[in-house]
Each structure stands twice: as structure tokens, then as C-alpha cells.
Structure 1
Amino acid sequence: MKKQAIFAIAALTMGTVLQAEEMKMAVTTSFQNSGLSDVLLPEIKADLDLDVQLLVVGTGQAIRLGEAGDVDAILVHSRKAEEAFIAGGNGTHRTEIMYNDFVLIGPGDDPAGVASAGSAAEALTLIAEARVPFASRGDDSGTHKKELSLWEAAGVGESARDVSWYKEAGSGMGATLNTASGMNAYIMSDRASWLKFGNKGDLKLLFAGDPVLFNQYAYLPVNPEAHPHVKADLAAKLEDWLISDRAGALIDGYTLNGETLFTFNAKQE
């Protein structure tokens, strides 16, 4: 009996020793939908013995989770909101990790003529003038924030985006792409989510390349001075890995049908 008890205690002790550390990170739906999380998380676990639990939400909700101290770090893509997060004392700093771009998707026959537009603003103006269906995430995500800024730049304010053609899905990128596919509607997506999306139907990539469509992703650790319970040491450990050559090779090497989904450009501010 004594031997059994000793073995049981040893097994429990070994289990405790071997248990990986855990932290929580709020990330955008595009990070998940693109498949990049499936590439990075196992390597983080292998290299750091760290389990990163993801809360997959839009940028707006990720920031609110950080403000509440419900996560240890956030990975998002809306610089203005990120800077406000830091200025409010909710994050310690902002580190750029990678980028891709936003693209405009639409029906193959392109009834609004978006493919001929000279800028993103012109493309959205053409959609508004044609009053053809447009699916918006409508969820306060980074993609939604960018889309709204582009409508404003195009001079198409909220009152001009009539519900007869402008449809707010209130959902993540994958779900909104499904909505657009079902409606054969125009939509703005990050390139990675579009490339990974399997239910394209008649939708085609019609417009890209305007510098305003640049899409930067950044990592922000939650401030332990505001939330003493957060795992600042693990957030720092993860950040060191995310800016490493190891992470860069994995991010740059993640392709789909020969196309790169993200480009590594780590830089701490």
C-alpha cells in the first residue's frame, strides 16, 4: 500500500511538473479563419511549453476584453483603437507582428464595375451608386472599422448606406463571407480570410492594391499595473517568440495555393 501511495504521489508530482503554462489572448476572427493560428500555436507549445488559449472575437471586443483584464494580451488590427488602448493605460506597449491587405470581393459579373476603379474610395462609391448588395461585418471589428473609414472617405455616410442594399451581418469574417456568397454581394475582406474561404460561389476578388488597404496586425500585452492578476511574464515570453526569426519563418512560409497570406514585419514601438 505504501508503494502504491508513493507511486501515486510521484505520478501527481510528475503531472504537475509536466503541465504546460497557460495564458489567454484575444485575437481577431481573421487570425483564426486564415488558419494561421493552427500553424503557430503548436509551435509555440513545442518551443515554449506554453498553451495559448484564444478568445476569437473582433478587434473591438478584443480590446474590451483587454480593458476588463479578461485576457493577458491581444492581437488585433486597428491602429487608432490600439493607440487609444495604450493611452488609456490598458496596455503596456504595441508591437507590430505582420501584415496583409484588405481586398474587395464581389459577383463575377461585377455589376458596379468595381474592377475598373482607381481607388478603394471610388470602388465603394460605385457600389453605392449602383445600389447593389454589400455585406458588412457590422461587428466593430478591425475590418469593420476600416470599412467604415473607407465609406466616409468615399463620401458615403451612414444615412446614404440604405438597408435595401447595405446589409450588416453582425458576425465574424468567415460568417460574413458566407452571407456575401449566399447573396452574391460585394464585401471587404482581409486577403488571408478570402484565400482560405471555401464557399466562394460566384464571388471573385475584384479590387486590391490601394495603399489605404494596408492591414497591420499588432500584439499588445495587457498592463499589469491596471490588472495585477494578468500573466505579464507569459505575455512577454510569447512576445519574444512572436518577434523572433522562428515566428517570422512560419508566418512568411504560410501559403495557400502559392499565395502568401501574411508578411512578417515585427517592430516594437
Structure 2
Amino acid sequence: MRAILAALAMLCWVGAAQAESIVLASTTSVENSGLLARILPVFTAQTGIDVKVVAQGTGQALATAARGDADLVLVHDPEAEAGFIAAGHGILRREIAWNDFLLVGPKSDPAGIGGSKDAVAALKAVAAARAPFVSRGDNSGTDALEKRLWKLAGIDPAGQDWYRDIGGGMGAALNVAAGLDAVTLTDRGTWLAFANRRNLVELVRGDARLLNRYDVIQINPEKHPSVKVEPARRLAEWLAGPVGQAAIGAYVVAGEQLFHPDADAPHP
């Protein structure tokens, strides 16, 4: 597999002097984790299509596409994606990979949640202990899941002195959590690629509610006539096809696979 990917990465594309390019509005996690920097050059070498990534929280990425400022989106919030498609902005959603979310926090574990597989019970314990918690607060897929988990816990943490809403990306949230010895919700890909952990460790994992699926959605050209339909379609199909899926599955950090390709067996 690695030999095939390496060979593809070395391909030289011969075409027009001006390479075709598209804009991919993407969730920050596939950017912060290093995945896109690893796999998109393979796609470009194979097709000659340059991909310009606009990395934002899922809500912002979908808003960018809804304004007509992207040719394709790669995001991870099924509820927001359904609304985007229902509004007529997106067509042909494909699930291309999954990993999971984690609750991470200081080794001292002031809320006593380490080793738990129940994310909702863990948040109740965090609130009861008034343990510092960092929220992205950026309308991202991660932020949306966190808000759903707090709702399931029957707790509104907004405005509490132990709850820090930073309005930033995943990397920023992890940096703040590391500085404050706080708990935060993170996707596994960004966590594994994150170097500034200090005292942070994994505390809660394995809850089925922490599944993190990644979907690529093509933009509806009837609503957005300026979209570059053909090159965007090629990238979507490449990500869901055998070469793209192999590239996603081959991305490893510290000996651990960050994303699991699943275009052939998407989650319901």
C-alpha cells in the first residue's frame, strides 16, 4: 500500500500551464491532525487539481459553502450537514472516514472521571467538582457534540466560573486546556498530533456517543452556479475511492492510525 501511495505521490502531471484549483472548506481536525497535508498532494499529483483548504469549524465551513465560497466541504456534524443539504446547498454526501472523540484532562483528574466510558456521567462529575473545562465555542462539529452531551447531562455550563468558552479551534482549545489543567473534548486525530500536552491525558473514551464521522459533500450547482463541479466531484470520488481510502488509512502518528476509512461501510 505504501509503495503504491509513494508511486502516486511521485507522478508528474502534464497539462495546462495554469493548474486547475478548487476550494475545500474543511473542519479544522483533518487539517490540524496533518491528514490533509499528507493526502492532498497525492490527489494533486494524480490529477493536476490543486486544492486550497479553508480550515474552519464545521458550522463556519458550511456557512462558507452556503455563501458560494467553496467548491466542496469536508465536515463532521451530521445534524448540521442534514440542514445544509435540506436548504439546497449540498448534494451527494459521502462518509469517508471515522474516528472518535475523547475527554482529556490533567493527570490529577479532579473530577474523578479517568477510565470512564460514559461521557455524559463524566460531564456531570466535572460540573459537580467544578473542575476547569475548556469549550471550543466555535460552532464546530466538536462544539455541537459537546453542547449535545451537556444537554443530555441536564446541565447548562454557560457562564459558570469553571467553564471557559474560547471561541477557537481544536488546537487552541487543547493549548488552553494544557495551560489551565482543564478538561476538554477533542477529536482523536488532533489529540494524537498535538505535541503540547503537558499534564493532559486521555480520561474518557469508548462511549458510542463519541463516534466521529467525516463526510464530504458536493455543492449544488443549481444553487451555486459558480461552483467548480467537475474537479470537486473528482476530489469527492477520490476521497471515497480506493486510492483516497488507502491514503486516509495509511496516515499514522506515533504508531497509531488517526482515521479509519469507511466509504464502503458508512455508519447509519
TM-score (norm 2): 0.91
Task: State yes or no: 1:243 paired with 2:266.
Answer: no
Structure-to-structure mapping, 1:1-269, within 5 angstroms? 17-157=16-156, 160-266=157-263
Greater Cα shift, 245-254 or 115-124? 115-124
SS of 2:203's partner is strand
* Aligned mates of 2:159, 2:224 — CA distance in 1: 42
How many equivalent pairs are there?
Answer: 253
* Aligned mates of 1:106, 1:263 — CA distance in 2: 25
Change (3 A) 1:107 1:243: same
Percent sequence identity over aligned pairs: 44
1:247 Cα deviation after fit: 1.1
1:19 Cα deviation after fit: 2.6
* Aligned mates of 2:17, 2:211 — CA distance in 1: 42
Bigger helix share: 1
* Aligned mates of 1:140, 1:66 — CA distance in 2: 15
Contact 1:113 1:126 in 2 (8 A): yes
SS of 1:24's partner is strand
* Aligned mates of 2:15, 2:99 — CA distance in 1: 40
> AA paired with 2:140?
S
1:155 Cα deviation after fit: 1.1
Task: Describe the superposition over 1:239-261 as per-residue Cα deviations: whole angstroms up to 9, x where unpaired.
Answer: 12111111111111111111110
> AA paired with 1:24?
V
> AA paired with 2:190?
S
Change (3 A) 1:116 1:161: farther
SS of 1:235's partner is helix
1:184 Cα deviation after fit: 0.8
> AA paired with 2:168?
S
* Aligned mates of 2:190, 2:166 — CA distance in 1: 16
- Name structure 2 gaps, 5 residues minimum: 1-13
> AA paired with 2:211?
F
Query: Quick check: which has more Rg, 1 or 2?
Result: 1
1:153 Cα deviation after fit: 0.7
SS of 2:59's partner is helix
CA RMSD of aligned residues (A): 1.5
1:92 Cα deviation after fit: 1.4
* Aligned mates of 1:253, 1:40 — CA distance in 2: 9
Task: Describe the superposition over 1:148-192 as per-residue Cα deviations: whole angstroms up to 9, x where unpaired.
Answer: 0001111112xx444310000100000111011111100000001
Contact 1:128 1:161 in 2 (8 A): no
- Name structure 1 gaps, 5 residues minimum: 1-14
SS of 2:105's partner is strand
1:144 Cα deviation after fit: 0.2
> AA paired with 1:27?
S
> AA paired with 1:117?
S
Change (3 A) 1:128 1:36: same
1:120 Cα deviation after fit: 0.6
Contact 1:69 1:227 in 2 (8 A): yes
SS of 1:86's partner is helix
1:16 Cα deviation after fit: 7.9
Contact 1:106 1:187 in 2 (8 A): yes
1:84 Cα deviation after fit: 0.8
TM-score (norm 1): 0.91
Task: Describe the superposition over 1:102-152 as per-residue Cα deviations: whole angstroms up to 9, x where unpaired.
Answer: 000001010101114341100110001000100000000000000000011
